[in-house]
Amino acid sequence: MTAPATPDIASGPRKQLRKHETDYTLLGTAHVSKVSADEVRSLIQSGEFDAVAVELCPARHANMVNPDALAKMDLFQVIKQGKAGMVAANLALGSFQQRVAEESGIAPGEEMKAAIEEAKAADLPLMAIDRDVGITLKRVYRSVPWWQRTALVSGLVGSLFSREKVTSEEIEKLKEGDVLESTFSEFAQESEKLYQALIAERDHYMALRLAQENGDSRYKKVLVVVGAGHLKGLEENLAGHLPEDPREQLDILEAVPPASRWPKLLPWIIAALIITGFVIGFNRNTELGMQLVLDWVLINGGLSALGVLIAGAHPLTVVTAFVAAPLTSLNPTIGAGFVAAGAELWLRKPKVADFSRLRQDTASLKGWWKNRVSRTLLVFIFATLGSAAGTYIGGFRIFGLLTGTAG
């Protein structure tokens, strides 16, 4: 299955569509193109339209309008609520945008900024019609089997940090789709489910949002600014049957598929097996029991501490991870990453300048370690990965000592 062909962006592809009493002009843009930005400005300044819609979700729109919003982020609450990985993924995508801007001289999404600015100048209503990027990321992640998710994550990390320079091929991809589509394009072409979550669902979602915002045709002429890769799909969905009340279908497209029960049960099962191993060891003899405990602490705590050390954490955070990991691995209600990140926040509280420079610093691999905010996220992630590895390795070590197969 392949994605639909992208129109020739050099000609500024447009689709004219009448729905009920409204004339929609769908403008396909290039996300890295000064020409597209200028065309958007020209169309809005023409006075032909009484409303503008853009391929942005409310959160991305807010970030464009208020780029300093990151400075208000409560990092501790982000980690506590389990959103550290999502924030890190968004920063990784943002870092790619920053690198593209430095290489090409044009920031991705410049045409969206132009639409926002010109709509405000003309006092026109602006509709942000795309689905929240966090929901899209989650649906993309959940759309593939668990054994393929590692490839998605590694593809994201590898594409963003394997090179300091952005290649011309990567910039060309951004002329066809946004950062999300460019990052996962190779996977989407090979996976029907991934393509649906990444592109087809968003085409349908944007059509539903237009129906929701303008169901009564209060706006007679609407300019819709979307990436050229969404032009055909949005036209087909908008021209088709749309419910009078699209909220039910929007809720379906905003819902995150439930996670499998096994990932939630597995930590408890492993903890129970480890504790059972300790009991068996001490019942045989105290020396064996103490050896099991010592190996568990050294392996689990050592690998978590190693992860924290790689993240460039404070020395006391490294010690905290070493002490916490063997205990938190036996209590799945709290993670080693949460404890380590909490310690790092207490020891090296991020300053306002760290939040202000966050997007710029994370544009390079070195910057992730330099900025206190992104470094704390790395501490959380690496401590968690180290403890997870330590749990499995330590568990096999305990099994080996109990069965006499350990070296």
**Closest Cα partner for 320 from 340, 334, 300, 304?**
340
For the beta sheet containing 51-54, the strands, ordered from the edge strand earlier in sequence to the opposite edge, are 14-19, 22-29, 221-227, 51-54, 126-128
The mean pLDDT value for 244-272 works out to 85
Q: Give the whole-angstrom CA distance, residue 255 versus residue 247.
A: 12
| Structural domain boundaries in the chain | 9-254, 261-403
What does the pLDDT average to over 377-383? 92
**Structure confidence by residue, pLDDT tens digits, 320-374:** 999 999 999 999 888 899 999 999 999 998 887 777 777 777 777 788 899 898 8
Nearest alpha-carbon partner for 321 in 378, 399, 396, 401:
378
Query: How high is the pLDDT of residue 109?
Result: 77
89 three-state secondary structure? helix
Sheet strands (E) in 73-204: 126-128
Other Cβ atoms less than 10 A from the Cβ of 172: the count is 12
Q: What was the pLDDT predicted at 7?
A: 39
pLDDT above 60: residue 180:
no
174 pLDDT above the threshold of 60: no
For 195, how many CA atoms within 13 A lie in the half-sphere containing its CB? 13
Please give the average per-residue pLDDT across 89-105, as a whole number: 65
By DSSP bridging, strand 221-227 and strand 51-54 are parallel
Provide the pLDDT for residue 8.
Answer: 40
pTM above 0.75, yes or no: no
pLDDT in tens, 335-345: 899 999 999 99
What mean pLDDT, rounded, does the chain reach? 82
pLDDT of residue 118 exceeding 60, the answer is: yes
pLDDT band at 59 (very low <50, low <70, confident <90, very high): confident
Tokens of 278: 């300790």
Task: Reply yes or no on whether the pLDDT at 165 is more than 90.
Answer: no
> CA 238, CA 16: separation in Å to the nearest integer?
11
pLDDT at 5: 40
Contacts with 57 (C-beta within 8 Å, 6 or more apart), sequence order: 128, 130, 131, 132, 133
**Whole-number Cα distances in Å, 47 to 3, 110, 115, 299:** 35, 21, 13, 68
Residue percentage of the chain with pLDDT more than 90: 45
Task: Output 19 or 141, whichever has higher pLDDT.
Answer: 19
330 vs 296: CA distance, rounded Å = 11
